[in-house]
Structure 1
């Protein structure tokens, strides 16, 4: 770099510092610290983090005469460590007890939340009070459970009892994918499940023995109020229309059918059903503009009173009420904090749309819930807001304004229409472009027709759905909300029709998993582009372009892989551009995630062998343990060997659901078995054996690699890369010492946490 270039960079850096741009990076450093803390395999030493934070803060205070670069680095170190401390603090606050193993037990619990889904089931969130037959020694505090076939739901606060099947929250379907247990831990949910039949009411809400604390009663009252609003809306507007309308007010989205939900996602309109910045901005904007217009009808009052601040305060009250009836969801919390900061800025005569306010909102969310930094909702919301506010700032500083024709009075109506649709188009384009990389990283797909869908749908949402829906909510206490909801329903039907029409065009591009380095590199470039003011921001564009070019030009070596679910029930081969599962009908929850992450939707089902009475089998899992004598083992061994001759072109050959055999590209043999009695013959034949049963063994006597329910419980899902000379075994967890996965090491027999072997030792095997 020449002296002139260094001088220019130094001058631009000083200009950025003068505008206070360094402050904008505070939430970035805090979020990075939280992400690092959560991604580690073990809890880092708290004393070391605290000492490092104290030293960084002390150095920052003592080195005031240091240059801007040194001070920025010290600030970054302090905020990074502060983010790690916040992550530790939130984990301590959560302290959720996670169920360690699937179990069927009699559950007694108080209903804290309820919600209907599209299949007519009721989902209850229960505060668990007791379990029986068996009594759990380490019972979760909160569980979710579905009830089928219930016409009249239980009331909030009711204590119910019933036989239920509970399972721990699922881990990642593949290493690196979304960990559902992580989110459940910080939501306070320790288990998911369903009731066998209808549970019985033990104590109704309002019973003297069932009152709870004042805060608990207030929370139940508010939840009942919210649930009553949703029930009222769905009574007036049945079907998807009512479920759609209720989701905009109370954030209850499960009642929307899968077809409509998928159409909204594919068309790029899914943001409408989430109570996010759009909903909060429209509700606040409608109230703010309406109140200012009302004051303008009285010139005396408008001149005597600060009508702008009064309108802002009224809008703040509106979004606060909206947030309270929305159920305190994560997206609603984030949108409320952002909107509240912007409205408070108006009260103090500060600019409401500024990057500093966005940064303050992000800091507030990270202090309250640093775990959200890992979630796609947090990342996409702030990415879109950051891009829009930054783009608006650049637009204000543009050298030219509207053309001369649009300034003429005769073209005023045209100018209004042009500005409105131009605003929708630019907002949709910038918002879609800024969240594209996050959609690809987290959901492995990209909606390419989102701009068209938003141009068609947003006028309906802005002028019909939100204003009339807000009027309907205000009229609901008086029973005058029927016709406003009907009008709102017409608008929502139009939005649904637009979503289904655009979704039918296709345009939903699937993406396989990105290289590990690509996502953080593009995000870093995006942050530079949107948070810097001078020409230094162009370095972000260069970084993004270079990253995409390197990823596109780097040849991708075709892989043959073995995928194993965390329960060992589902195994698949990735070969010749398609997935080859060991089940004719693989469970969609796991298999669908595999397909999305690998962008492979073609599959080769297993070849089902004819039923053979000579092959020993057990017809039901509930039957007695199957034991094989020497002759039966020989018959089974011969049947497994013969099955391998039937799959020369790949795929599995399966005998019922008892066992499946496959030959890998490297010549090794893979067997999946359903019963421990098959282990001996399987180990004699195969090089890799997968069994969902929890065994004490972790390797066959023959030396074959063994994946059991016990080893998979500690390792999570497994992916085996066969492309290299020595197969590489990748596990979802390198250890089970974090608070959200420690339950995997719990032994209910001894009521202790068993010291698990190092999962990385799996990769030391020759496969």
Structure 2
């Protein structure tokens, strides 16, 4: 009970500490003034994204002004962090979830302190000189590194190289981003345990090797402990440079414990590391618990530690008796086992959050991870060290070659037949059951306990298999309607607008690669004219009305009436039909409707109790 109370208290404190006012309803272009917090360069020709703080927004009271807003500039304005700028911009509240239970973009940005997003109509005017400070040191360092990478690397590889060093992924081409995701290599683009461990390992072995070259140091100094301390400081610098996101912070905490254990001559590998790191992250950022990064990173590392603790006696014995060739074979086997375990465990969370599972993840990781560990990341460390002296060209070239290999593997694996399995949206209960089952499987010793854990995971899958899918979907604008056809395909009222919503509806319906079909398609089961549409499904009659005429005509016929116009002032309808109009959708967010035997159920993004980010 005490831990539960402490968790709820931490969540309340975090809401006040990290949260922000959400931008009020947009009323046209506004004059905006603010200090540049961060500049993220996008793909060539797409300009840049700028994060502003200390804001003054025309027509918005100070108490309603967000802590941060994110604006997109069409061109690279050459803006510098710390400078105060003025511009004319359109700022909107961040998008809500496209369906109930889907990823909530507004919640995520709320805890990032970002209460508005938009774009600038013109170039920004600098009205205040850049102010230095510790908070801008790493931001300026990121920008310098990105410029150096752009000077020495090609357009294709520069975005990924920047992501691996600075954590900024905005400049990655869409086709490369999709290939990395579909091949199961996307974890290499998110600064996490793999990268932090590689950086710490490179520094550790280089420092230890360098000190071992001096006989006096090797004989009289604790060079292993010195190398551990140096690698810890290097890893901390890398995490701060990359933005200190949840996976990186978790990796830094665990790396720190490992290095401290080395300095204290203790065993560094234990589930206690996971527990300590998770507790520390949740104390600092309790909102991370619902994030995919927290769930996937901790699940993968915990599963690998449990497995290697189980096989450690045999593995250490094989390694001790192995020669060079056998050790190389053991290394390859280790990559295969690690990729398989991490892929299976994180696959559950991938299916819940992204509705996709990468079939060839083990194969692509076998081909890409060794190059990343032995070429890309060591070259990245060396490049950053040599940049102040202007000697970064050679290591950046080596890093680029390794990056191009990684990209080639990603595109090859992504093009294989059946590379990705797509599923429909899973309910939250599936995530809860699978998480509990995986935790029990790792902690409950003995095969009887593991059998119970496997049964709990199976129950989660069964819940997903028998969970109903929405028959009708309506966007939060009230202007886009979607219907699930008898064939399971998604049919939409229009393809002209709200493309982002349509793409996400397709993914959530399990048809991420398909082309969105229109109501006019003969198989949709929807019959439309200029005034509205009629749907008959499972004994239920649904009317989508666009005009008062259609509303009056379908009032007595329909069981459910959905409208993209206000209905409350239109008279002439006294039936018992359930009605939702434009104001309902704008106030409650996206709606999903489910057909039962005796009633129609509805879920909406924003419930009757408003949350801070609503």
Specify every segment of 5 or more residues in structure 2 that has no aligned partner in the other structure, as ranges. none
1:135-154 paired onto structure 2 within 5 Å? 138-148=64-74, 150-154=75-79
- Tell me, in whole angstroms, the C-alpha distance in 2 between the residues paired with 1:561 and 1:575: 8
Please report how far the alpha carbon of residue 652 of structure 1 lies from its aligned counterpart in structure 2 after TM superposition: 5.3
1:107 paired to 2:32: yes
Residues 491 and 559 of structure 1, relative CA distance in 2, 3 Å threshold: closer
Q: Which residue of 1 aligns with 2:4?
A: 80
- Tell me, in whole angstroms, the C-alpha distance in 2 between the residues paired with 1:443 and 1:664: 31
Please report how far the alpha carbon of residue 300 of structure 1 lies from its aligned counterpart in structure 2 after TM superposition: 3.7
1:414 paired to 2:289: no
Please report how far the alpha carbon of residue 268 of structure 1 lies from its aligned counterpart in structure 2 after TM superposition: 0.6
Please report how far the alpha carbon of residue 161 of structure 1 lies from its aligned counterpart in structure 2 after TM superposition: 2.3
- Tell me, in whole angstroms, the C-alpha distance in 1 between the residues paired with 2:24 and 2:507: 28
- Tell me, in whole angstroms, the C-alpha distance in 2 between the residues paired with 1:462 and 1:592: 35
Aligned residue for 1:734, secondary structure, equals coil
Residues 225 and 338 of structure 1, relative CA distance in 2, 3 Å threshold: same
Residues 540 and 100 of structure 1, relative CA distance in 2, 3 Å threshold: farther
Please report how far the alpha carbon of residue 251 of structure 1 lies from its aligned counterpart in structure 2 after TM superposition: 0.5
- Tell me, in whole angstroms, the C-alpha distance in 2 between the residues paired with 1:203 and 1:222: 23
1:526 paired to 2:438: yes
Q: Which residue of 2 aligns with 1:682?
A: 551
Please report how far the alpha carbon of residue 306 of structure 1 lies from its aligned counterpart in structure 2 after TM superposition: 1.6
Residues 714 and 342 of structure 1, relative CA distance in 2, 3 Å threshold: farther
Q: Which residue of 2 aligns with 1:752?
A: none
Greater Cα radius of gyration, structure 1 or 2? 1
Q: Which residue of 2 aligns with 1:234?
A: 150
Please report how far the alpha carbon of residue 344 of structure 1 lies from its aligned counterpart in structure 2 after TM superposition: 2.1
1:385 paired to 2:301: yes
Does the 8 Å contact 2:160/2:403 carry over to 1?
A: yes
Specify every segment of 5 or more residues in structure 1 that has no aligned partner in the other structure, as ranges. 1-76, 609-646, 742-767
Residues 555 and 283 of structure 1, relative CA distance in 2, 3 Å threshold: closer
1:460 paired to 2:374: no
1:500-535 CA deviation, whole Å, 9 max, x = no partner? 000000320012223443321221121122234x31
Aligned pair partner of 2:174 in 253, 258, 266:
258
- Tell me, in whole angstroms, the C-alpha distance in 2 between the residues paired with 1:699 and 1:160: 52
1:240-389 paired onto structure 2 within 5 Å? 240-389=156-305
- Tell me, in whole angstroms, the C-alpha distance in 1 between the residues paired with 2:587 and 2:398: 54
1:433 paired to 2:433: no
1:510-521 paired onto structure 2 within 5 Å? 510-521=422-433
Residues 107 and 679 of structure 1, relative CA distance in 2, 3 Å threshold: farther
Q: Which residue of 2 aligns with 1:191?
A: 116
Q: Which residue of 1 aligns with 2:602?
A: 729
**Superposition TM-score, scaled by structure 2 size:** 0.91
- Tell me, in whole angstroms, the C-alpha distance in 2 between the residues paired with 1:698 and 1:425: 65
Residues 349 and 501 of structure 1, relative CA distance in 2, 3 Å threshold: same
Residues 351 and 341 of structure 1, relative CA distance in 2, 3 Å threshold: same
Aligned residue for 2:533, secondary structure, equals strand
1:651-709 CA deviation, whole Å, 9 max, x = no partner? 35364xxx542323235242243xxxx33543443544444567876998444444334
Please report how far the alpha carbon of residue 350 of structure 1 lies from its aligned counterpart in structure 2 after TM superposition: 2.6
Does the 8 Å contact 2:149/2:158 carry over to 1?
A: yes
Residues 134 and 540 of structure 1, relative CA distance in 2, 3 Å threshold: same
1:156 paired to 2:81: yes
1:336-361 CA deviation, whole Å, 9 max, x = no partner? 22222222222233322111111111
CA RMSD of aligned residues (A): 2.7
1:529-568 paired onto structure 2 within 5 Å? 529-532=441-444, 534-535=445-446, 538-545=448-455, 547-548=457-458, 551-552=461-462, 556=466, 561-568=471-478
Does the 8 Å contact 1:606/1:654 carry over to 2?
A: no
- Tell me, in whole angstroms, the C-alpha distance in 2 between the residues paired with 1:243 and 1:345: 36
**Superposition TM-score, scaled by structure 1 size:** 0.74
Aligned residue for 1:164, secondary structure, equals strand
Q: Which residue of 2 aligns with 1:123?
A: 49
1:541-690 paired onto structure 2 within 5 Å? 541-545=451-455, 547-548=457-458, 551-552=461-462, 556=466, 561-576=471-486, 577-585=488-496, 587-600=498-511, 601=514, 603-607=516-520, 650-651=525-526, 653=528, 655=530, 660-665=532-537, 666=539, 668-673=541-546, 678-679=547-548, 681-686=550-555, 687=558, 688-690=560-562
